[in-house]
Amino acid sequence: MSKIELSKIDTRAPKDLDKKEIKEKTEKMLIELDELQNLLFAEGKHSVLVVIQGMDGSGKDGVIRNVLGNMNPQGVSVRSYKAPTPEELSHDFLWRIHHYAPPKGMIQIFNRSHYEDILVTRVHKWCDDETANKRMEAINDFEKLLQKHNSTHILKIYLHVSPEEQHERLSERMKDPTKMWKYNEKDFEEAKLWDVYMGMYEDCFNNCNTPPWTIVPADQNWYKEYIIASKLQELLKGLDMQFPGLKK
């Protein structure tokens, strides 16, 4: 597998795509995803973990609302990960993660995830390279455990936004009353560390790649949502699920 270099991956949709046509396709997929999620829940043999990573302003909340939020809330759960609490810090770094691994029949969404412990921690030098390498081994083992022993299918998504688009979105939070609640002055400080973050993300992608990451161009929401909907649709359809018959 060739190494991922984010600088060589476009953050926008191919120019020959028709926005209206793509949005219509997305709407049809969202209807089918609702049906597939219902089938997943009814059959109860598989679970799905959707890991969403991305820089501030890359659109993680929007994906959860516009793509994953269209499914039955009884079968979908969202967990957001922020700075660990003192209790969480007293345990191993995966302790707070494993508790929210999805049971069979469920789709679990991680808004940020266990990968923060090898990303932001390394950028700010709270975690040295030796510790990060050990954590990447632990992450690989953890994901292997979920896949092999609980039929959990993992979809790992990185929202690939450009620094220019990120700056525009962060600036918008200071002007748009509906987005001001998201504003955090620290986001602009983190944005200054862009190149360091990209290096840490690439290291993460190239060392924790089973299952592989989906790098999603995220400058245009309509294309981002289309790619993620199609990936989840492909995953669920590939499970060859069947509704169970009458209980005896």
Mean of per-residue pLDDT scores for the chain: 95
**Confidence (pLDDT) at 247:** 77
Residue 21 in domain: no
Pairing of strands 152-160, 47-54: parallel
The shares of helix, strand and coil residues in the chain, as percent rounded to the nearest 5, are 50, 15, 35
Residue 131 in domain: yes
CA-wise closest residue to 156 among 218, 211, 99: 211
Torsion over CA: 51, 54, 57, 59 (sign)? negative
**Confidence (pLDDT) at 238:** 97
Residue 5 in domain: no
| Number of domains observed in the structure of the chain | 1
**Cα 162 to Cα 127: distance, rounded to the nearest angstrom:** 26
Segments forming the whole domain that contains residue 87: 44-237
pLDDT in tens, 104-116: 999 999 999 999 9
Residue 17 in domain: no
Residue 30 in domain: no
**Cα 57 to Cα 174: distance, rounded to the nearest angstrom:** 13
Q: What is the CATH number of the domain that holds 54?
A: 3.40.50.300
Q: What is the mean pLDDT of residues 41-67?
A: 96
Q: What is the mean pLDDT of residues 54-80?
A: 95
pLDDT in tens, 156-182: 999 999 999 999 999 999 988 888 888
pTM of the model: 0.95
Res. 1: pLDDT tops 70? no
**Cα 106 to Cα 76: distance, rounded to the nearest angstrom:** 6
Res. 2: pLDDT tops 80? no
Lowest-confidence segment of 36-45, 181-190, 200-209 by average pLDDT: 181-190
